[in-house]
Amino acid sequence: MRRGIAGFAAVALLAACAALQPPEVEHANTYVLEAMPAAGAPRPKGNLVLEVSAPRARPGFDTPQMAYTQRANALEYFARNRWADTPARMLAPLLAQALDHSGGFRAVVQAPSLAAANLRLETELVRLQQDFGARPSRVRLTLRAQLIDTDARRVLASAEFDETEVAPSDDAYGGVIAANRALGRLLERLAKFCAETPAPR
């Protein structure tokens, strides 16, 4: 009887330990946004300092979850694929790098910064989604930008940049490749927009 009680206690202890184990989590694929604009003609170095504010994101896109659509006005997210951070946070250093690479400014800094800036770039991620409503699927990336004169506190120019890229495969990884290709073109257009906006007096 003692052996039976001891055996039952051992089984109960093992069951209790198993119940305390954390549930198994399915493996998730994590991706990053990383793109640079194509090298263009060198621009004359400007004398202005540009501050790049942290991008904002519209509702539905302020999450590391990767968004896709299958029908109009219905936003869904991949279950086992995600961004390494929110797309807006990943965009911040890429915007600053692209604008610095353009050569149109004396310096480009990311906010918050102690440097006195002449201009400030504010951006909003309007959408970053893979559309499966057509085959092959395609990624649509839209960014709204405002260039602000920090001394006069007025908007010098605003624009919305929209890029669409066909995904090389109808899955999340194909969407990542398409997103980075679209982002490269968008960064090139944004750098040109900032460099060609008339400087404040």
**pTM as predicted:** 0.82
Cis peptide leading into residue 42 (ω within 30°): no
Answer for the pair 83, 16: CB distance below 8 angstroms, yes or no: no
- The 3-state DSSP class for residue 127 equals strand
Which three-class secondary structure state does DSSP give residue 20? helix
Pairing of strands 154-166, 107-110: unpaired
Average pLDDT per block of 10 residues along the chain, 201 residues long: 52 53 68 79 73 96 97 94 97 95 91 89 98 95 97 94 98 97 96 88 67
Q: Which fold has domain 2-196?
A: Rossmann fold (3.40.50)
How many angstroms separate the CA atoms of 58 and 160, rounded?
14
**Domain spans of the chain, in order of start:** 2-196
Question: What's the confidence (pLDDT) of residue 46?
Answer: 75
What pLDDT is stored for residue 47 in this prediction? 86
The reported pLDDT for the residue numbered 35 is 86
Please give the pLDDT value at position 12. Answer: 55
